[in-house]
Amino acid sequence: MKAYNSLVAILFMLLISCSTSTNQSSAVDKKIDSLLREMTLEEKLGQLNLPSAGQFTTGQAQSSDIAKKIEQGLVGGLFNIKSVKAIREMQEIAVEKSRLKIPLLFGMDVIHGYESVFPIPLGLSCSWDMELIEKTARIAAQEASADGINWTFSPMVDLSRDARWGRISEGSGEDTYLGSAIAQAMVRGYQGDDLTANNTIMSCVKHYALYGAAEAGRDYNTTDMSRHRIYNEYFPPYKAAVDAGVGSIMASFNEIDGIPATANKWLLTDVLRKEWGFDGFVVSDYTGVSEMVDHGYGDLKTVSGKALAAGLDMDMVSEGLVGTLAKSLKEGKVTEAQIDAACRRILKAKFDLGLFDDPYRYCNEERARTEIFTAENRAFARSVAAQSFVLLKNQNNILPLQKKGTIALVGPLADAANNMTGTWSVAARFSESISVLEGLKKAVGDKARIVYAKGSNLHEDASIEERATMFGKSLNRDSRYAQVIRDEAVRIARNADVIVAAVGESAEMSGESSSRVNIDIPQLQRDLLNALLETGKPVVLVLFTGRPLTLTWENENIPAILNVWFGGSEAGDAIADVLFGDVNPSGKLTTTFPQHVGQLPMYYAHKNTGRPITEGQWFQKFRTNYLDVSNDPVYPFGYGLSYTTFSYANLSLDKTELAAGGSIKVSVIVTNTGSREGAEVVQLYVRDLVGSVTRPVKELKGFKKVMLKPGESRAVTFTLTESDLSFYRADLTFGAEPGKFHVFVGGNSHDVLQGEFELK
């Protein structure tokens, strides 16, 4: 009876909360209806317009061209303006001078933190820690909203399996399952439970869709793939963000099926709205609308009309919608209902953010002074950075280092505070980031001596170096001969006890429009590494990179490699924390590190083919392989070492047959077999042996991060249900198919224990 009563109570509460939210939304709908009735066609089109405001500075705003447009009601939002004062000034024009006083949205690329910068997304994903990731988004939202921002163009959830593509740095790697979990954590972090709160912001998941599968890894390039692959592998992270309630979505630059995503009705309406039930708004990417002219899809008027009809609501920068839709309406190419629907969605977002109640909700100068780049947020960023690092090699336990003797710090990234935050950190205070040199010096105090020399420029080719150090991230190219710069470093290294080489990519060597065909560490820096090895002193490679690099030579020759990605504003301190063992590294790769660029695209969840190579073999004639390199990666997905070691034993399944609707428990005993406390990411993979469409050789279906004391053993248990085994078939129906499955558990995608069960 008691249970029944509480059930009734719960149902009643649910009913009340549903009807309250329906009432609220119908009240908002009514407000929007009446606003729409009052709006002229031009004002409606104005809401669909998102011009760039990058160059504004306070004071100029009032008299700028944009200000006039805002006053005329021709602007729906602005983006990438930094400072609460400048934002307030623009908002004032909208709500005090425009006829209908509709507030503006203020967007920004708050991608991995605001002023307190966290690791680049690819690095952050290597923490495999959803709470941590959510908290980074939460803090980013708090800082950004304190500075006037109410909308972020994040998360980027484009799956990528091609390290040539520079924007692989902005996503969460190659895996569908992990990428989906991270997408949700980020959306939750930004938007919180209450979007109207002054410290939450609207999230915009991007770039919808398949942007990370650009042919040849060349940015903005064509994508083309089968429907079942799209649904099984590439769509889930976007859908996960939609399921988490993301408020907006950004169309990608690329075309799909010969139609640019920005005007792709199948994508923007059939899938996004009808299948997934998305009710937020869709924004184009930067000039995504006008770029369709170059795609060969029509003139500006034509492509703008097609985009609207396909389901695009807001036009970033092109001014195609605001500039041409009135004419298209007259010509009968678009309908007023389509314009109203887009305008309604933008207005709805403004209501959802609470901007109609208080347009200055995010314009509190006191918050801007006290809540940004705080000691607390920076301390958190430091600990997050350390958790994103991946220890790739540690021969003879060279690491951790001791705080004693002389440590030679060498390399173009060693004293480069302005590069620590990596790509897409528009709000960062570059010069206040902690460099490796500063971090190491602070960490050792007077216990050890740190000697420094640059040792080499970033790249042998000055023009490549220039392209890779844009946006205020110069590495101050040294004009002396390479040999002279190198010799200087070798001299100090010879007298040191250990050498730390901070080498790799610069911050802007990955990111947008930074594709590479050669993904080695630049030769000039390899020459430096070689010269350092010749001193006979132990060399620790601290690797900066925004993508997987080909580390075949380094893996063979350098005794210790710590991949630090771009760790954010506090990277230097975090690197010291890990190098000296104050933090035990626990990051695991979320992207495969190939041996050779020619293996790309490369990913663990590949298909078997009809001619798979025998495990452990390099070459077999008439099998799936290369003449000149084995199929293996240098480091597989999920890989990462620790200062301690872990063993896996006793993989057990609670049953061998899984009935429809049932579940199966998979357990393993993980033991810390080393002498330090450490965290291990335990990973579970599944293989469906036979399917109506062929299935990957392994797919991640679960992971748990456990902290174990030296000698401690723990049973780690996963539960698998039919839905974990389900997939999209050729006809796009979704479900699991009876038959045998292999299940694997281990500390990376390669070294695993194996079990088997059958789905009945």
109: contact with ligand BGC by CB under 6 A:
yes
The rounded distance, in Å, linking the Cα atoms of 209 and 236 is: 11
465: contact with ligand BGC by CB under 6 A:
no
Shortest distance (Å) from residue 207 CB to ligand BGC: 6
Shortest distance (Å) from residue 173 CB to ligand BGC: 17
Shortest distance (Å) from residue 285 CB to ligand BGC: 5
**Which lies closer to ligand BGC via its Cβ, residue 109 or residue 554?**
109
Among 255, 285, 465, 554, binds ligand BGC (CB under 6 A): 285
Among 352, 365, 512, 520, binds ligand BGC (CB under 6 A): 512
206: contact with ligand BGC by CB under 6 A:
yes
Q: Are 572 and 439 in contact (CB under 8 A)?
A: yes
286: contact with ligand BGC by CB under 6 A:
yes
Distance set, CA 94 to CA 342, 551, 660 (Å) = 20, 53, 57
Q: Are 740 and 756 in contact (CB under 8 A)?
A: yes
**Which lies closer to ligand BGC via its Cβ, residue 47 or residue 80?**
80
Residues 219-278 that bind ligand BGC (CB under 6 A): none
Residues 139-168 that bind ligand BGC (CB under 6 A): 153
Is the C-alpha dihedral spanning 55, 58, 60, 65 positive or negative? positive
**Marked catalytic residue, from 129, 175, 285, 577:** 285
**Which lies closer to ligand BGC via its Cβ, residue 221 or residue 645?**
221
Q: Across the strands, what pairs with 540?
A: 500, 560
DSSP summary character for residue 139? H
> Cα 521 from chain centroid?
23
Q: Across the strands, what pairs with 672?
A: 646
19's CB contacts (< 8 A; 6+ apart) are: none
From 504, 503, 462, 502, select the one nearest 480 (Cα to Cα): 462
What is the DSSP track for 65-93? HHHHHHHTT--SEEES---HHHHHHHHHI
**Which lies closer to ligand BGC via its Cβ, residue 173 or residue 288?**
288
Helices of type H across 451-610: 462-467, 482-494, 523-534, 552-557, 571-579
The rounded distance, in Å, linking the Cα atoms of 66 and 58 is: 13
Please state the φ and ψ torsions of residue 531, each to the nearest 5 degrees. -65, -35
The rounded distance, in Å, linking the Cα atoms of 47 and 38 is: 14
**Which lies closer to ligand BGC via its Cβ, residue 328 or residue 421?**
421
The four Cα atoms 327, 306, 45, 247 give a dihedral, to 10 degrees, of 180
129: contact with ligand BGC by CB under 6 A:
no
Q: How many residues bind ligand BGC (CB under 6 A)?
A: 7
The residue whose Cβ lies closest to ligand BGC is 153
The rounded distance, in Å, linking the Cα atoms of 300 and 262 is: 13
**Which lies closer to ligand BGC via its Cβ, residue 497 or residue 512?**
512
Annotated catalytic residue 315: no
Break the chain down into helix, strand, coil percent, rounded to 5: 40, 20, 45
Q: Tell me the per-residue interface mask from 66 to 105 with ligand BGC, x by CB under 6 A, - otherwise.
A: --------------x-------------------------
Shortest distance (Å) from residue 599 CB to ligand BGC: 27
Per the structure block, which two tokens stand in for 361?
């909700």
**Which lies closer to ligand BGC via its Cβ, residue 512 or residue 722?**
512
Shortest distance (Å) from residue 265 CB to ligand BGC: 22
389: contact with ligand BGC by CB under 6 A:
no
The rounded distance, in Å, linking the Cα atoms of 587 and 104 is: 40
**Which lies closer to ligand BGC via its Cβ, residue 147 or residue 285?**
285
SS3 612: coil
Name the residues that contact ligand BGC, by CB under 6 A: 80, 109, 153, 206, 285-286, 512
Which residues are known catalytic residues? 285
